[in-house]
Structure 1
Amino acid sequence: MSTPSDLGLSSATTFPYSVAVAVQNHLKDHGKDRQSFFVGNLDSVLDRLEEWRRELPFVQPFYAVKCNDNKTLLTLLSRAGTGFDCASKKEMQQILQLGVNPERIIFAAPRKAEDYINYAHEHGIDKIVVDSEDELRKLAEIVPSAMIFLRLRADDPTSRVRLSEKFGSDLLEARGILQVAVDLSVKVTGICFHVGSAALDPGAYVRAIAMAREVYDYNETLSSKHPILIIDIGGGFTESNFRLLAPAVRSAADMYFGGETGIQWVAEPGRFIVSEAFYLVCRVLGTRKRLVEYVDGPNQNHYFHAELFVNDGIYQNFLNALVEGYIPTPVPLDPSGRPYGLPEREDKSYSYTVWGQTCCGADKIKSNCRLRCEMQAGDLLCFPSMGAYTHVTASGFNGFTARAMTVWTSSVRGREKLKEANRVGSWWNPLSHGESELLVRRG
């Protein structure tokens, strides 16, 4: 059996042993395939679900399919008992094909084509979101029996991607929509909001839940026969912010709805569950030197700047380089997938601009990417935290492959989690696997 040192791993390596095994095994089996590929870490997905249940046990997660629609991932989540936030007919089809009960699906797009609404209704998906009177009237005409969720305008101005300018109704608009719902005899049974993607301010959730309480109370004053039964706190959670935000959600839920025993709480996490679970491995197509070595500052640190061109880009799995302006620093690997060790001179670093492979001049993945070794054509870069909004945005522009293969892996610990959960009859059901030490699947 290989050891971490056999695989070139050290304490400085930033990805798990099982991921290193999966990378190197894939390269052995597909050495002639020069496409970038993902490694999905099952342990990470299970860890995030368990953390959610510890921190927010009263909130049922409805996974945001738009974040990552890998079929193996969706299968795992469906067996785990999560619900699903779908925004289109295709996403609803993907989830229904897994055998998921339609009651576990929210059609969460505030604006929808009529044929999408008909499809949802024909397949028993009744939880549908609106944020305007116009959309409410559309639903009342097409599906008067729908369980309508009213989306409020909530905002964390420090979030990575703000949504409040495009989505949600303010308090005055929400009151008007509720009155129209009474007039049309349709039922608004849920309140939802989304403070922004990758949120940072716990107070944004407190303010949104407080607003939800105002809307809840106003609905009680109307002649509606349909009380608010569900509060949907949306998304915005990441692995790094979750333990900061979860206490605020718990406190606000207790403060504003502690006396309401009939309320069901749900959320729509995406990044939190999958971002850290996926690694993207790209091959260096070539390099180009731009600057010579120079001395910088009193410590006389030596830098070498060059440009790297890799077999991926913003039109494939790196759109976040444009939309969010952030891509994590990769781990450099040799052509066989072994991480490069630190060079003898640890004060020497190499600064790269990493370019994508298309002919577009804006296809830049990362500027000033500092690595501790000099890269050459044929080497690899393993980017961590690439599970959210990556392959789902791929376009295939310039004729390059739009979808990258995903290799799934799990340690013995992850596999035992699945076995034990299946034995005691909890949410979990194990995926099929062989008797090898590591679970490696492609899908």
Structure 2
Amino acid sequence: MISPGVARFLAGATQQTPFLVIDLDVVEQRYREIRAAMPYAKPYFAVKATPEPAVIRRLVELGACFDVASPGEIDLCLEQGAAPECLSYGNTIKKEADIEYAYKLGVPMFAFDSLREVEKLAQAAPGASVFCRLLAGSADARWPLSDKFGCSTDFAVDLLQKAAKWDLRPYGVSFHVGSQQTNPDRWDASIAAAAKVFGELREIGVELEMVNIGGGYPARYVDDVPPIAEYGDKISAALDRWFGADRPVIVSEPGRSLTADAGVLRAQVVSVRRPFEGGDRWIYVDAGKFGGLAETEGESIIYRVLTSQTGPTKPVVLAGPTCDSLDILYRRTKHELPLALDVGDTVDFLSAGAYTTSYSSVGFNGFPPLPTYCIGDKR
């Protein structure tokens, strides 16, 4: 459940809580697993999941590419040794100045899903390879992504045709079936939609080359999920079904699946509210929604929890330390924690290596951002 390296670090930890510790060897292991499961797909790590320099360095060493969403993420990757041609600007919402910045550095590939974004790309990155993000359903995903991004297949055909006329290179399409996607069959409909766009554009003389199948591959939280090999097999079968022998270049964007299981977020109990008149027992820890655990919103991501106490347990409500009523981690989901758990005891959130530090507040209520310690760094 916890890697031996992280267990050793936590056993001797004297750092003030909360903090995150990430085992880079586990990141490497997960990378190799997804490469083995999807040898047909070039992985572009979604930097937003874990924007830690040591994580980026290790993935550069392994030959990964990177999905970036801002000049800051571009700079981070380049500073850690990534080549510009290994970056994909996958954010569909970009300032024209940021597009120009990336293009001048040599970033070759840009996403869009609206006419205005195509116009900006034509102006700031002439000749760049561009791909259109399609709408995709997020059913069975713990963190849906279906409302803010993407367009219909008909609109995608129109936009990619315009891109060709405006001196851009229409390279392909992308989609994302939702983060922590628990159903490996969810890629099939979106791959079918991608094949439809390919076929309609081919009829008018525009040849696409790439399908970006996004991320969504799950980490290991409370609920069981299929093995990554099953995702690889189901996606490969869908590609065969809809593209046949004419399979395009395939790009994937793993994020959570590479880094979540490598990390443990250690927190400390700061207060306990005892039950009265049959009420709930509340445990308040020093890491909340504004201190790294943002994905507990709606109890979407349910972390496994270990504590420094043992003995008889009862369900508790878990909450963060801030003066905000939204800062409740789990109320419907009743974690069974020891009755002996008290102020000063530690609470470890497992598989917390993704979307924790990157969501951590800069200083809400005066609490500092979540510090991170990476173990196994070869530098």
Q: Give the TM-score, by structure 2 length.
A: 0.92
Give the one of 331, 341, 352 matched to 1:386.
Answer: 352
Q: For 1:233-382, what aligned pairs fall within 5 Å after superposition? A: 233-239=213-219, 240-241=225-226, 242-260=228-246, 263-291=248-276, 306-322=281-297, 324-333=299-308, 340-341=309-310, 343=311, 348-367=312-331, 368-382=334-348
Match of 1:130 in 2: 112
Residue 181 (structure 1) shift: 2.3
1:350 and 1:374 in contact (8 A); partners too:
no
Task: Show the 5 A alignment for 1:147-296.
Answer: 147-224=129-206, 227-239=207-219, 240-241=225-226, 242-260=228-246, 263-291=248-276
1:161 touches 1:324 (CA, 8 Å); kept in 2?
no
Counterpart for residue 30 of structure 2: 48
Structure 2: runs of 5+ lacking an equivalent: 220-224
- 1:155-183 Cα shifts (integer Å, max 9, x gaps): 13221222222211211111211222233
Flag the 1:62–1:234 CA change in 2: closer, same or farther, 3 A. Answer: same
| Structure 2 SS opposite 1:354 | strand
Instruction: Note the aligned Cα RMSD (angstroms).
Output: 2.0
Distance 2:3 2:82 in 1: 32
Q: Which amino acid aligns with 1:319?
A: A
| Cα distance in 1 between the residues matched to 2:122 and 2:12 | 55
Structure 1 counterpart of 2:222: none
Q: SS at 2:288's partner residue? A: coil
Matches within 5 A, 1:15-164: 15-27=2-14, 30=15, 34-164=16-146
What is the alpha-carbon distance in structure 1 between the residues aligned to residue 132 and residue 34 of structure 2? 25
Residue type of the partner of 2:356? T
- Tell me, yes or no, if the aligned pair for 2:3 and 2:262 is still in contact at 8 Å: no
**Alignment-mate amino acid for residue 321 of structure 2:** Q
AA aligned to 1:362 is L
Give yes or no for contact 1:327–1:365 (8 Å, CA) kept in 2.
Answer: no
1:100 aligns to what SS in structure 2? Answer: coil
Cα distance in structure 1, aligned partners of 2:142 and 2:234: 19
Distance 1:235 1:184, change over 3 A: same
What CA distance in whole angstroms lies between the structure 2 residues aligned with 1:16 and 1:223? 52
1:431 aligns with 2:378: yes
Alpha-carbon distance in 2 for matches of 1:145, 1:186: 4
Residue equivalent to 1:406: 373
Distance in 2, matches of 1:405 and 1:168, equals 33
* Aligned partner of residue 265 in structure 2, secondary structure: strand
Answer with 157-166 or 81-90: which moved more: 157-166
| TM-score (normalised: structure 1) | 0.79
CA-CA distance at 1:83 after TM superposition: 0.6
Q: Deviations over 1:228-274 (max 9, x none)?
A: 1221100111143434422211101222233226x321100111101
CA contact (8 A) 2:27 2:259 kept: yes
Separation (CA, whole Å) in 2 of partners of 1:15 and 1:203: 29
Indicate conservation of the 8 Å contact 1:22/1:407, yes or no.
no
Q: For each residue in 1:269-314, what CA deviation from the matched residue of structure 2 results, as whole angstroms up to 9, or x when unmatched?
A: 111101111001111112221247x8xxxxxxxxx95222221111
How many residue pairs get aligned? The number is 370
**Cα distance in 2 between the residues matched to 1:404 and 1:318:** 13
Q: Which amino acid aligns with 1:194?
A: H
Give the deviation of 1:26 after TM superposition. Answer: 2.0
User: Aligned equivalents of 1:200 and 1:329: distance in 2?
Assistant: 17
- Structure 1: 5+ residue stretches without partners: 1-13, 295-303, 334-339, 410-429, 433-443
Q: Secondary structure at the match of 1:99?
A: coil
1:52-71 Cα distance to aligned partner (Å, 9 max, x none): 12211111110001111111
Q: Which is greater in Rg?
A: 1
Moved more, 184-193 or 70-79: 184-193
Q: Give the aligned residue type for 1:54.
A: A
Rounded to whole Å, the distance in 1 between the matches of 2:140 and 2:7 is 35
Residues 309 and 44 (structure 1 numbering): CA distance in 2 closer, same or farther, change over 3 Å?
A: same
Measured in 1, the distance between the counterparts of 2:114 and 2:96 equals 15
- 2 CA distance for matches of 1:150 and 1:43? 35
Report the CA distance shift for 1:187/1:323 in structure 2 as closer, same or farther (over 3 A): farther
